[in-house]
Amino acid sequence: MTEIRICHLYPKEMNIYGDRGNIAVLQKRLERRGYSSSVTPIGAGEDFNPSIFDLCYLGGGQDRDQIIVAHDLQKKSAALRSGAEDGMVFLWVCGGIQLAGEGYTDSDGRRIPGVGILDLDTSAGNRRLIGDLVLNAELDGETSTLVGYENHAGRTFLGPDATPLGSVLKGYGNNGADQTEGAVQERVIGTYMHGPILPKNPWLADKLLTWAIEHNTGGIPALSPLDDSLENLAQQVAISRAGVKR
C-alpha cells in the first residue's frame, strides 16, 4: 500500500486556527481511498529532511511564536527549497504564507526573512484584516469556490513567479487592495484562508492529495469520489453566512 508522508511543521507553535483539522482531512481522505499516511511533527531545533516527505503543512500562530519559528526556519530553508524544487507539495496557511515568501517587515520596520519558496513579500498593515473569506479559486485549469476565514495584519503582494490561488468574492485576501488571495508556485500553495480550510473545501484537499500521490508514485492517480454531502452543506452555509449570493 502506498504511504503518503506528511510533515507537520511546528505543530506546537503554529496551531491557533484549528490547523490540525487540515491534517485530519488529508489523512481521512487518503484512508477512505485505500492509501495509508504518516504524519511527522517537526519542531524548533529539529532537522527537516526533504527526501522523506510528500506534503509539508505549516499553520497559523501568534506573532510572538511566529518570530520564534521564523528564526528556526532559517536553519531549514535550504532543505525546504530543495523539497519544493523536487515537487514536494506545500500547504502553508496564514502565518505560513508569510513565512513561505521572501520576508516580512513588521510595524517597527524590522525585517524577518522568509524561506523563499513563494515569490511574494509581506509587510505589516495598520489594522488586522478579519472576517469571512470567499474565493473563486483556480488550479490545474479547474475552478472552484473556496470558503473560510481570515485574520492577519500582514499585507502580501505577489511577484511575477507566483500566481494567486484565487480572486476574492468576499473578504480582504492578500492585501485588501488587489482582490487576490493566496499564492501558487509549482506545487507550493500559500493562503490566508483558515477555518480550517480543508474540511469545507474538499476540492482543494483532493487537489493537494493528487499532487502528493504523484510526488510519491510518479504517476497521476484517479482519486475515487467520496460522499461529500456534509462538506458541501457546510460550504453552502458558510458562503451564505458570509453574505455571498450564488
Partner 1 sequence: MRHIALFIAKAAGTISRILRRGGGTSLPGMILMKMRPTMLREMAQDLEDGVIVISATNGKTTTARMVANAIQESETSYVANTSGANLASGIATALLAKKPEDRLGIFEVDEAALPTLIPELQPSVIVLMNLFRDQLDRYGELESTIQKWKDMIQSLPETTKLIVNADDPALGFLGSQHSNVEFFGIEQNQYGSVILPHAADSIHCQKCDSALQFQQTTIGHLGHWSCQNCGEQRPQPTFTGTNINLNELNGSEFSVVSKSNSIDLEVPLAGLHNVYNALAAFSICSASGIKSSNIQKGLSTLSAAFGRNEIITYAGTEMMLLLAKNPAGANQNLQTLLLTEEKIDLVISLNDRTADGKDISWIWDVDYDMIFDRIATLTISGDRAYDLALRFYYSDFPTSNMHIVPSVEGLLNHLKDSCESLQRVVILPTYTAMLDLRSQLNKVGATHSFWEEQ
Q: Which CB atom, from 158 or from 209, has the smaller least distance to partner 1?
A: 209
CA distance 19 to 208: 16
Q: Which residues bind partner 1 (CB under 8 A)?
A: 12, 15-21, 24-25, 28, 62-65, 68, 128, 130-132, 149, 151, 194-196, 199-200, 230-231, 233-234, 237-238, 241
Q: Which CB atom, from 84 or from 239, has the smaller least distance to partner 1?
A: 239
**Cell reading at 183:** 499564492
**Cell reading at 70:** 521564523
Q: Are 95 and 14 in contact (CB under 8 A)?
A: yes
CB of 33 to partner 1, least distance (A): 15
CA distance 86 to 64: 32
Tally the residues of the chain.
246
CA distance 240 to 217: 39
CB of 198 to partner 1, least distance (A): 9
CB of 194 to partner 1, least distance (A): 5
Q: Which CB atom, from 24 or from 223, has the smaller least distance to partner 1?
A: 24
Q: Which CB atom, from 162 or from 205, has the smaller least distance to partner 1?
A: 205
β-strand partners of 150: 131
Q: Which CB atom, from 95 or from 166, has the smaller least distance to partner 1?
A: 95
CB of 81 to partner 1, least distance (A): 27
The catalytic residue positions are 94, 194
Q: Which CB atom, from 166 or from 195, has the smaller least distance to partner 1?
A: 195
CB of 162 to partner 1, least distance (A): 25
Q: Are 4 and 30 in contact (CB under 8 A)?
A: yes
CA distance 182 to 203: 16
Alpha helices in 132-175 (DSSP H): none
Which residues lie closer than 8 Å to 149 by C-beta, 6 or more apart?
A: 17, 131, 132, 133, 193, 194, 195
CA distance 207 to 194: 17
CB of 24 to partner 1, least distance (A): 5
**Within the chain, what is the greatest distance between any pair of CA atoms?**
51
Q: Are 55 and 212 in contact (CB under 8 A)?
A: yes
